[in-house]
Amino acid sequence: MHDKTLTQLAAALKSGEFSSRELTSHYLQKIEKADGTLNSFITVTGEQALNQAEDADKARAAGNAGLLTGIPLALKDIFCTRDVKTSCGSKMLDNFIAPYNATVVEKLNAAGTISLGKTNMDEFAMGSSNENSHYGAVKNPWDLTAVPGGSSGGSAAAVAAGLVPAAMGTDTGGSIRQPAAFCGITGLKPTYGRVSRYGIIAYASSLDQAGPMARSAEDCAHLMNVIAGHDVRDSTSVARGVPDYTETLNAPLSGLKIGLPKEYFGDGLDPDVEQAVRDAVKVYESLGATVREVSLPHTHYAIPAYYVIAPAEASSNLSRYDGVRFGHRCKEPVDLIDLYKRSRAEGFGEEVKRRILIGTHTLSEGFFDAYYTKAQKVRRLIRQDFLDVFEDVDVLMGPASPTPAFDLGAKKDPVSMYLQDIYTIAVNLAGIPGISVPAGFAGGRPIGLQILGTHFAEAQLLNVAHQYQQATDWHLQLPAFAEENA
């Protein structure tokens, strides 16, 4: 079962090949068997999943099944789930149980999907390797000595290892696309405002966006049909009609204009990754697309601008973790200041503290204009770069990450870790959608092709990705780890 895509599983459930309960049990057993090694889940909700699966089977028997009824999924542990712990990968929230579901969770529940549990992640979504988790690092199922990427590393590893057919992630600077690339799966970061942020623990509110991580673009399209749309509880979600993302998957690509940003093929790009991306582009040419080089001149300002804006917002968003109402509280505080200092010192990990300090500094009196205001100007220029090139081309293509997955423990210096996101981060600053699809291997580790479109071009990205996946089979390959633990 685990070698099937979500789309195939949905068809099998519909035809009665197996029940949701059987399918759910199968995945729970796989998690039981394999996740001691991978560490991709923080919480597994087996009993709840089996109950949901029984309800799904009943609904199907009663003729009330939707397309995804009975499909098991996993949620990054950043989505608030009623009655189930939501830790955000942090000691700070190790005891936090939300009294509400995120809107995405509500929508998935309403569609009849089943949650197997909550996946591991970098603490508060800050990281590119999943090594910043209070619950320990996650291993890459393609190579257990490699990181799965981050921050949605648990979701990516679990899907790649066949522990769940698809999972939800969030992406603030690449946190869906980079782990999808590292783990050889398909991950879509939608346009900012396309998916509700309500109930998703905020890292950087103007950049955060949730999206699907699955085996194929088609799977992502089905999930987007469920989770996209305006939410009155999120003022930044956009009131704009949601298309059926599956409807245009098979549109022909003849005449598609592809741009290759020259800044995405410069120094620091691994030659194997570059080769894989150029090979993928050739596949598109064979499908009738035309290719030209374009320029996004402000690309190299993206990382500095991001590391002003995101920490600034984070420093404010994370102020609520103060030990007063929920979350970690230090033992026997002597006064309020002591309560704050020790609760936060004990509850947050090193990278989170680093970003809170950076953000607090950049917003300080006397520094605000030099950092924050300047970064916002840069952000507008970066956005304009994209709007300009999308006048000339339909989509952009490039690598999702400069290298394949690196070794666990390899990147000790935070800046070298930040540079991991060089191709993904500008996308969040511009608010446009991006998708990463598997496009080959280097040294046994997957390589991701990133495809970018203009605002609300998700249907086009899914179409472009799907057509590639019709012509190639990179996305169908499973790591040996998945087979060994079958």
Partner 1 sequence: MQWETVIGLEVHVQLATRSKIFSGASTAFGAEPNTQACAVDLGLPGTLPVLNEQAVAMAVQFGLAVHADIAEVSVFDRKNYFYADLPKGYQTSQMYHPIVGPGDVDITLDDDTTKRIRIHHAHLEEDAGKSLHEDFLGMTGIDLNRAGTPLLEIVSEPDMRSAKEAVAYLKAIHAIVTYLGISDGNMAEGSMRCDVNVSVRPKGQEAFGTRAEIKNVNSFRFVERAIAFEVERQIELIEDGGTVVQETRLFDPERDETRSMRTKEEANDYRYFPCPDLLPVVLDEAYLDHLRSQLPELPADKRERFQSELGLSAYDAAVLSASREMAEFFEEVHHVCGDAKQAANWVQGELSGALNRENLSITNSPISARQLGGLLSRVIDGTINGKAAKQVFQALWNGQGENADAIIEAKGLKQVTDTGAIEAMIDQVIAESPAQVAQYRDAEPEKRGKMIGYFVGQVMKASRGTANPQQVNGVLIAKLDALL
Q: How far is the CB of 380 from partner 1 (least distance, A)?
A: 14
* Residue 464, token pair as written in the block: 């472009």
CA-based nearest residue to 108, from 49, 190, 162? 49
Is 107 one of the catalytic residues?
no
**Of residues 235 and 254, the one with the C-beta less far from partner 1:** 235
Residue 200 φ then ψ, to 5° = -100, 125
Question: What is the identity of the amino acid at 406?
Answer: F
Q: How far is the CB of 148 from partner 1 (least distance, A)?
A: 24
**Of residues 207 and 408, the one with the C-beta less far from partner 1:** 207
Q: What is the largest CA-CA distance in the chain?
A: 70
**Of residues 207 and 228, the one with the C-beta less far from partner 1:** 207
Identify the three-state secondary structure at position 261.
Answer: strand
Q: How far is the CB of 80 from partner 1 (least distance, A)?
A: 4
Distance of CA 403 to the CA centre of its chain: 18
**Of residues 200 and 296, the one with the C-beta less far from partner 1:** 200
Write out the residues near partner 1 by the rule CB under 8 A. Answer: 79-80, 86, 88, 93, 96, 98-100, 102, 197-202, 204-206, 232-236, 312-313, 315-316, 318-320, 322, 324-326, 336, 340, 360, 363-365, 368, 372
Name the β-bridge partners of 424. none
Distance in angstroms (rounded) separating the CA atoms of residues 243 and 463: 13
Which helix (H) or strand (E) covers residue 46, if one does? Answer: helix 46-61
Q: How far is the CB of 256 from partner 1 (least distance, A)?
A: 34
**Of residues 340 and 441, the one with the C-beta less far from partner 1:** 340
Contacts for 96 with CB less than 8 Å, ≥ 6 apart: 85, 86, 87, 326, 327
Is 85 one of the catalytic residues?
no
Q: How far is the CB of 234 from partner 1 (least distance, A)?
A: 5
- Catalytically annotated residue among 30, 76, 91, 107: 76
Is 151 one of the catalytic residues?
yes
* Residue 416, token pair as written in the block: 């070298």
Q: How far is the CB of 456 from partner 1 (least distance, A)?
A: 17
**Of residues 362 and 460, the one with the C-beta less far from partner 1:** 362
- Catalytically annotated residue among 152, 155, 175, 343: 175
- Catalytically annotated residue among 20, 40, 115, 151: 151
Burial code (b: 16+ CB inside 10 Å, e: under 16) for 148-174 equals bbbbbbbbbbbbbbbbbbbbbbbbbbb
Determine contact, residues 404/272, Cβ cutoff 8 Å. Answer: yes
Active site residues: 76, 151, 175
